[in-house]
C-alpha cells in the first residue's frame, strides 16, 4: 500500500540522501515521533522544530493553525531537509494540503499513518479515535479511515484535558485516570476493537488508556506508525543516509519554557542535547 499519496518519484531526490529529515510539531509532543524515528531509522539526521512559544494548537482556529504550519514548513525547507514529517496531529488534520502545496520534498503526516495502521488492525471494523478538539472537529481521521475502508465505523472523542495533564507529567495520576474514564467510556461502549491515539501526547499515557479500554482494544500509536511509513518511503526512494556516521540531531524551539528540558526528555526518552532557540 502506498501511503505517501500525491508524490511521484523524483529522480533528483537521490542526491539528498545525507540531508536531514525535518520533523515538526506545535511543541515538544512531536518528540514521541522523533523517538520512534531514531529507533526505526538510526542513521538518519533529524532537524526538529517545536513551536513551544505558541503551543497548544489543538484549541486554535483552522486559519491560525494553517498560518503557523506554513511558517514552520518554510523554516525547515530552508534547512534543506529531504523529507518533511508533520508530527502534530492537529496540523496534519487542518493544514496538510497547504504544506504539501508549498513543499518541493515529500510530506508525511501522522494521520495517514495512524489511519492505515488502524484499518490494518481492526477485526470488527469499529474504530475509536481520540485527539485534540481541532483534530476531532476536522474529521480528518474519519475521512482517512473511510478512504481506506468505507465499511469501518468510526467513533471520535476530543480529549482536551489530556495535553495539559501529560505536560504536567501526570501519567498515572488520579486526575488523569478520572479524565480518561470520562472521555473513554462512550467510545468503549461502541464496541471498538481498535483505538487511535490521535495526538502526540497520548503515547505517554498509553498504559493508563490500555488499562481503561481493556486488552480487547488494540491501541494505535501514530508515532510508531509514522516511523514505519517514513522508513518505507526512504527505502522506496533510495533516500537512506549511506554515510554510516552517527547521526546529527538538532532541536529547534520558539521558546524555552518552564521545565522544558525535563518534559522534553520524557517525550524523547533520552537527553535533549542540541537545542536552539529560533524566531520564525
Does the footprint of ligand DGL cover residue 69 (CB under 6 A)? no
Residue 255, φ and ψ in degrees, nearest 5: -160, 155
Does the footprint of ligand DGL cover residue 201 (CB under 6 A)? yes
Catalytic residue among 88, 96, 159, 252: 88
Does the footprint of ligand DGL cover residue 58 (CB under 6 A)? yes
Is 159 a known active-site residue? no
Nearest approach in angstroms of CB 110 to ligand DGL is 7
Catalytic residue among 96, 159, 199, 252: 199
**In the bound complex, which residue of the shown chain has the CB atom lying closest to ligand DGL?**
58
Q: Kindly determine how many residues on this chain lie close enough to bind ligand DGL according to the rule CB under 6 A.
A: 18
Contacts with 244 (C-beta within 8 Å, 6 or more apart), sequence order: 43
Residues 47 and 51: their CA atoms lie apart, in Å, by 13
| Sole window of 184-192, 196-204, 246-254, 258-266 interacting with ligand DGL (rule: CB under 6 A) | 196-204
Residue 46 DSSP one-character state: E
User: Which of 32, 66, 89, 138 lies at the binding interface for ligand DGL (CB under 6 A)?
Assistant: 89
Q: Are 154 and 146 in contact (CB under 8 A)?
A: yes
Nearest approach in angstroms of CB 16 to ligand DGL is 27
Nearest approach in angstroms of CB 134 to ligand DGL is 7
Residue 136, φ and ψ in degrees, nearest 5: -70, -45
Positions 123 through 142 that interact with ligand DGL (CB under 6 A): 131-132, 135
Nearest approach in angstroms of CB 64 to ligand DGL is 11
Find how far residue 178's CA is from the centre of its chain. Answer: 25
Does the footprint of ligand DGL cover residue 241 (CB under 6 A)? no
How many Cβ atoms from other residues are within 10 Å of residue 29's Cβ?
30
Does the footprint of ligand DGL cover residue 90 (CB under 6 A)? yes
Residues 100 and 83: their CA atoms lie apart, in Å, by 11
User: Which of 3, 19, 24, 29 lies at the binding interface for ligand DGL (CB under 6 A)?
Assistant: 29
C-alpha cell at 92: 496534519
Burial track 148-179 (b if 16+ CB lie within 10 A, e otherwise): beeebbbbbbbbbebbebbbeebeeeeebbeb
Residues involved in catalysis: 88, 199
Chain contacts with ligand DGL (rule: CB under 6 A):
25-27, 29, 55-58, 88-90, 131-132, 135, 163, 199-201
Amino acid at each position: 500500500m502506498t501511503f505517501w499519496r500525491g508524490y511521484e518519484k523524483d529522480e533528483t531526490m537521490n542526491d539528498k540522501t545525507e540531508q536531514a529529515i525535518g520533523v515538526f510539531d506545535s511543541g515538544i509532543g512531536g518528540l514521541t515521533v522523533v523517538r520512534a524515528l531514531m529507533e526505526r531509522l538510526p542513521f538518519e539526521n533529524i532537524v526538529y522544530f517545536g513551536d513551544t512559544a505558541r503551543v497548544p494548537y489543538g484549541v486554535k482556529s483552522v486559519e491560525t493553525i494553517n498560518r503557523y504550519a506554513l511558517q514552520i514548513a518554510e523554516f525547515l525547507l530552508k534547512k534543506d531537509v529531504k523529507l518533511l514529517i508533520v508530527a502534530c496531529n492537529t496540523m496534519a488534520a487542518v493544514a496538510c494540503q497547504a504544506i504539501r502545496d508549498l513543499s518541493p520534498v515529500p510530506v508525511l503526516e501522522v494521520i495517514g499513518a495512524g489511519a492505515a495502521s488502524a484499518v490494518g488492525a481492526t477485526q470488527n471494523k469499529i474504530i475509536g479515535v481520540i485527539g485534540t478538539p481541532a483534530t476531532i472537529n476536522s474529521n480528518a481521521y474519519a475521512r482517512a479511515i473511510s478512504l481506506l475502508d468505507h465499511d469501518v465505523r468510526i467513533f471520535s472523542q476530543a480529549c482536551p484535558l489530556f495535553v495539559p495533564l501529560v505536560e504536567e507529567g501526570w501519567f498515572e495520576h488520579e486526575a488523569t485516570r478520572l479524565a480518561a474514564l470520562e472521555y473513554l467510556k462512550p467510545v468503549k461502549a461502541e464496541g471498538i476493537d481498535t483505538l487511535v491515539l490521535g495526538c502526540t501526547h497520548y503515547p505517554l499515557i498509553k498504559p493508563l488508556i490500555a488499562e481503561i479500554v481493556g486488552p480487547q482494544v488494540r491501541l494505535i500509536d501514530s508515532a510508531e506508525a509514522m516511523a514505519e511509513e517514513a522508513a518505507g518511503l526512504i527505502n522506496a526512494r533510495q533516500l537512506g543516509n549511506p554515510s554510516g556516521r552517527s547521526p546529527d540531531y538538532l532541536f529547534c524551539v520558539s521558546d524555552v519554557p518552564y521545565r522544558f528540558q525535563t518534559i522534553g526528555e520524557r517525550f524523547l526518552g533520552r537527553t535533549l542535547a542540541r537545542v536552539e532557540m529560533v524566531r520564525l
